[in-house]
Amino acid sequence: MIRQRIAVIGGVAAGPAAAAHAKRIDPDADVILFEKGSHISYGACEMPYYIADQIESADTLVIHDPESFQREKSVAVFAGHDVTDVHPSRNRLVVRELASGRSREERFDKFIFATGASAIRPDIQGSDADNLFTVRCLADAIGIKNYMSSHRVRHAIILGGGYIGLEMAEAMVRRQIRTTVLEPGSGLLNRYVSPALREYVQDVVHKNGVQVRSEKAVRFDVASSGAITSVGTDSGETIGCQLVIAAMGTRPNTELARRAGLRITETGTVEVDPHMRTSAANVWACGDCVEVERIVDGRKISLPLSQTAFRTARVAAENAARRGRGQPAKFPGVCGASAVKVFGLEVARAGLSLDEARAAGFDAFVESVDDWSRVSFYPGAQRLHIELVVDRRNGRLLGGAAVGTEGAALRVNVLVPLIWKGWLVSDIRDLDLIYAPPLAPSLDPLLVAANRAVRGIRSTKQ
C-alpha cells in the first residue's frame, strides 16, 4: 500500500491533536505539522495566570516543543514555517521558511486546516503601539510580562469585559496595577450570562478595585516613544495609562482557505460537513476556524474553545487518515459549556441563554434560585445563584447558569449531559444528587430550581 502524506496546518490545540490522531489511525502515514510560530502546543487558557505571576515560567505552559512532539508522536514538525498557499486539485502546498525566507512546494494526499483564529484589534490609529497587546498566543503573554518587567506600569486599560478581559483585570490587580475595563456593551459578561447574574460579577469586580466604564475606546494618544499614553472614549473622557490590553474577541483565520478555493460561511468560517470535510474532497478543517452544530437547536455556531478544538480535530484526523475503511467519524455537536473564575467568583453556563432560546423559537422562561452551596449552617457555606432555561411547552431543559464562590462550575457541569440528552426538568427532580453537609445541602440547589420550574409550568397550564 502506498504511504499517504497528510499535512496539518496550524498548532496550539487543534493542529497537534489532529496530527497525533492521524498518526494513530494510520501509523504508516507521513504526517507533517506546519506552524508559523515557534510554539506548537501550550496551555493557552493558563496564560492569564502566568501574566499574574501565579505561574512562574512560560516553559510550564509548554505541553510539547517541536522536538518532543516529533519524538513522542512520530509526526514531523516544521515550526517557523508559514503555509502560504494550498492547491487541493493539484495536491500541493507552498510553505515559506521564515528564518531564511525561502519557499518550497510539497505534495500531499490530504490536508487538515487547523488555522485557528486571531484576536481582534481595535480599528483605531495607534493600535500597533508598543504597549497595546492581545492575549491570544504564548508570544503575547511573554510580551506582556516582558513589557511590565521593563516599564513602570501604574494603570492598565482592558478593552472588553468578557472572559479574557476579566481574567486579565484580575491579573493586573494581582500585580498591584490600577485597572480600568472599558465595556461598551450591556455589562460585564453580557454575551454569557443574564443581567441578574451579571450584577454579582460587577459587584465583585468593583470590590476588588477595578473600575468598569460603559464606554468605547475611540482614540489612542501615542507618544514619540511609540507607546500609548492615554485612551479617549466615546463619552469624551481621556484616560491616562501605560498599558492597553485588547480582549475584544477573535476572528477565524480563513485567508489561506479562501486562497485555496474552499467555501466560506456567511460568518467567515471554513464551511465543513459533520465529518469536518470542507468543500474540497481532500481537505478537512477543525478548531477555531470552523463552525459546529449546537445540539439544543441545531444552529451552526462559532465556539472557539479548546475542548471544541480537540473534539473537531479528532474527527477531522480520523476521516483524513482512515483510507475509506469503515464509517466516517461524525462530529456530534456541542452543548456550549464555559466558565470563568474572577476574584474568587465562579461564573459558568451551558446550553442556551434565555435570549438565545427565544431567538431559536422556544417558548422559554428562566427559573432562578438563590440558595446555599452546602448545608446553610455548616462553616464556609456560600450563597449560590442558579438559573435554568426551560421550554414552557414540554419542560425541556435548554440551558443553565450559575454564579457563586464555590460549587457553581461543577453544578453547571452536571447540567451538560442532561442538556445533551434532552432531559426535562421533571427528570432532574428524581436525581439522587450528593448530600453531605461539607459539600452539598440535603436538597441541592439544582433540585430546588427544577422543582420550581415544574411548578411554574403547571401553573401556566392551569
Q: What is the pLDDT of residue 401?
A: 98
Average pLDDT over residues 234-254: 97
Cβ neighbours around 319 below 10 Å, total: 23
Q: What is the pLDDT of residue 383?
A: 97
Q: Give dist(CA 20, CA 308) in Å, integer.
A: 16
Classify the phi-psi angles of 63: left when phi > 0, otherwise alpha if psi is within -120 to 50, otherwise beta: alpha
pLDDT of 220 > 80? The answer is yes
Q: Which residue has the higher pLDDT, 256 or 2?
A: 256
Q: What is the pLDDT of residues 105-148, one digit of tens each?
A: 999 999 999 999 999 999 999 999 999 999 999 999 999 999 99
pLDDT of 343 > 80? The answer is yes
Q: What is the pLDDT of residues 66-109, one digit of tens each?
A: 999 999 999 999 999 999 999 999 999 999 999 999 999 999 99
Nearest to 173 by CA among 187, 151, 188, 156: 156
Q: What is the pLDDT of residue 326?
A: 79
pLDDT of 462 > 80? The answer is no
The lowest-confidence range among 1-10, 24-33, 239-248, 338-347 is 1-10
Q: Counting every residue, how long is the chain?
A: 462
Number of H helices and E strands in the chain, helices first, is 12, 27
Q: What is the pLDDT of residue 458?
A: 77
Nearest to 114 by CA among 32, 43, 26, 18: 18
Q: What is the H or E stretch that residue 145 is in?
A: helix 138-150
Q: What is the pLDDT of residues 231-243, one digit of tens each?
A: 999 999 999 999 9
Q: What is the pLDDT of residues 260-307, one digit of tens each?
A: 999 999 999 999 999 999 999 999 999 999 999 999 999 999 999 999
The residue behind cell 466604564 is 213
Q: Give dist(CA 29, CA 113) in Å, integer.
A: 17
Q: Give dist(CA 426, CA 202) in Å, integer.
A: 33
Please classify residue 238 by burial: count the beta carbons closer than 10 Å to its beta carbon, then call 0-12 exposed, 13-18 middle and 19+ buried. Answer: exposed
Helix, strand, coil fractions of the chain, as percent rounded to 5:
30, 30, 40
Q: What is the pLDDT of residues 157-171, one digit of tens each?
A: 999 999 999 999 999
pTM of the model: 0.95
Domains along the sequence of the chain with CATH: 5-37+60-118+251-321 (3.50.50.60), 121-248 (3.50.50.60), 338-457 (3.50.50.60)
Q: What is the pLDDT of residue 111?
A: 98
Please classify residue 379 by burial: count the beta carbons closer than 10 Å to its beta carbon, then call 0-12 exposed, 13-18 middle and 19+ buried. Answer: exposed
Q: Give dist(CA 435, CA 449) in Å, integer.
A: 16
Per-residue pLDDT band for 213 (boundaries 50, 70, 90) equals very high
Q: What is the pLDDT of residue 323?
A: 83
Nearest to 162 by CA among 188, 182, 200: 188
Calculate helix-pair angle for 306-321, 14-25, nearest 10 degrees. 30
CA distances from 54 to 30, 57, 93, 450 (A): 40, 9, 42, 38
Per-residue pLDDT band for 461 (boundaries 50, 70, 90) equals low
